Amino acid sequence: MNEASHHVVVVGAGFGGLELTHALAGAPVRITMIDKRNHHLFQPLLYQVATTSLATSEVAWPIRHLLRKRKNVTTLLGNV
Protein backbone atom coordinates (compact mmCIF):
# COMPACT_ATOMS: atom_id res chain seq x y z
CA MET A 1 0.00 0.00 0.00
CA ASN A 2 1.26 3.47 -0.82
CA GLU A 3 1.85 5.97 1.93
CA ALA A 4 -1.57 7.50 2.71
CA SER A 5 -1.66 11.22 3.33
CA HIS A 6 -5.02 11.23 5.13
CA HIS A 7 -6.68 9.10 7.78
CA VAL A 8 -10.47 8.78 7.63
CA VAL A 9 -12.36 7.52 10.68
CA VAL A 10 -15.79 6.08 9.90
CA VAL A 11 -18.09 5.74 12.90
CA GLY A 12 -20.65 3.03 12.28
CA ALA A 13 -20.83 0.15 9.82
CA GLY A 14 -24.38 0.80 8.68
CA PHE A 15 -25.39 1.58 5.12
CA GLY A 16 -23.70 4.99 5.15
CA GLY A 17 -20.45 3.82 6.71
CA LEU A 18 -20.08 0.87 4.36
CA GLU A 19 -20.93 2.99 1.30
CA LEU A 20 -18.34 5.61 2.26
CA THR A 21 -15.71 2.93 2.81
CA HIS A 22 -16.42 1.37 -0.58
CA ALA A 23 -16.45 4.81 -2.27
CA LEU A 24 -12.95 5.50 -0.89
CA ALA A 25 -11.62 2.17 -2.17
CA GLY A 26 -9.15 3.64 -4.65
CA ALA A 27 -8.28 6.76 -2.69
CA PRO A 28 -4.83 7.09 -1.05
CA VAL A 29 -6.25 7.18 2.49
CA ARG A 30 -6.10 5.00 5.58
CA ILE A 31 -9.58 4.15 6.88
CA THR A 32 -10.52 3.10 10.39
CA MET A 33 -14.09 1.86 10.81
CA ILE A 34 -15.47 1.76 14.36
CA ASP A 35 -18.72 0.02 15.27
CA LYS A 36 -20.20 -1.28 18.51
CA ARG A 37 -21.08 -4.58 16.82
CA ASN A 38 -18.88 -6.92 14.81
CA HIS A 39 -21.57 -7.46 12.18
CA HIS A 40 -23.64 -5.48 9.68
CA LEU A 41 -27.36 -6.13 10.01
CA PHE A 42 -29.42 -5.74 6.82
CA GLN A 43 -32.54 -4.42 8.53
CA PRO A 44 -34.89 -4.43 5.51
CA LEU A 45 -34.93 -8.25 5.70
CA LEU A 46 -35.60 -8.57 9.44
CA TYR A 47 -39.29 -9.27 8.84
CA GLN A 48 -38.27 -12.39 6.91
CA VAL A 49 -36.28 -13.60 9.91
CA ALA A 50 -39.35 -13.04 12.10
CA THR A 51 -41.48 -15.10 9.72
CA THR A 52 -38.77 -17.80 9.47
CA SER A 53 -38.29 -17.24 5.74
CA LEU A 54 -34.60 -16.45 6.33
CA ALA A 55 -32.05 -17.43 8.95
CA THR A 56 -30.34 -14.76 11.03
CA SER A 57 -27.05 -15.57 9.32
CA GLU A 58 -28.58 -14.51 6.00
CA VAL A 59 -29.22 -10.91 7.13
CA ALA A 60 -26.16 -10.29 9.34
CA TRP A 61 -22.58 -10.43 8.03
CA PRO A 62 -19.26 -9.89 9.82
CA ILE A 63 -17.90 -6.42 9.03
CA ARG A 64 -14.38 -7.76 8.51
CA HIS A 65 -15.74 -10.19 5.92
CA LEU A 66 -17.50 -7.39 4.03
CA LEU A 67 -14.30 -5.33 3.94
CA ARG A 68 -11.79 -8.18 3.49
CA LYS A 69 -10.55 -6.92 0.11
CA ARG A 70 -9.94 -3.38 1.38
CA LYS A 71 -6.27 -3.41 2.40
CA ASN A 72 -6.41 0.20 3.62
CA VAL A 73 -9.26 -0.46 6.09
CA THR A 74 -8.88 -1.32 9.77
CA THR A 75 -11.96 -2.29 11.76
CA LEU A 76 -12.33 -1.70 15.48
CA LEU A 77 -14.99 -2.82 17.92
CA GLY A 78 -15.98 0.02 20.23
CA ASN A 79 -18.33 2.81 21.24
CA VAL A 80 -17.78 6.43 20.28
- The fold adopted by the segment(s) 6-77 is FAD/NAD(P)-binding domain (3.50.50)
Tens of pLDDT, residue by residue over 15-60, are 999 999 999 988 999 999 999 998 887 778 777 888 888 887 777 7
* Residue type present at position 79: N
Q: Could you tell me the CA-to-CA distances from 68 to 8, 9, 21, 54, 62 in Å, in that order?
A: 18, 17, 12, 24, 10
What is the Cα–Cα distance from 42 to 10, expressed in whole angstroms? 18
Q: What is the pLDDT of residue 55?
A: 83
Residues 3-15 have pLDDT tens digits of 668 999 999 999 9
Q: Where are the domains of the chain?
A: 6-77
Looking at residue 3, its pLDDT comes to: 67
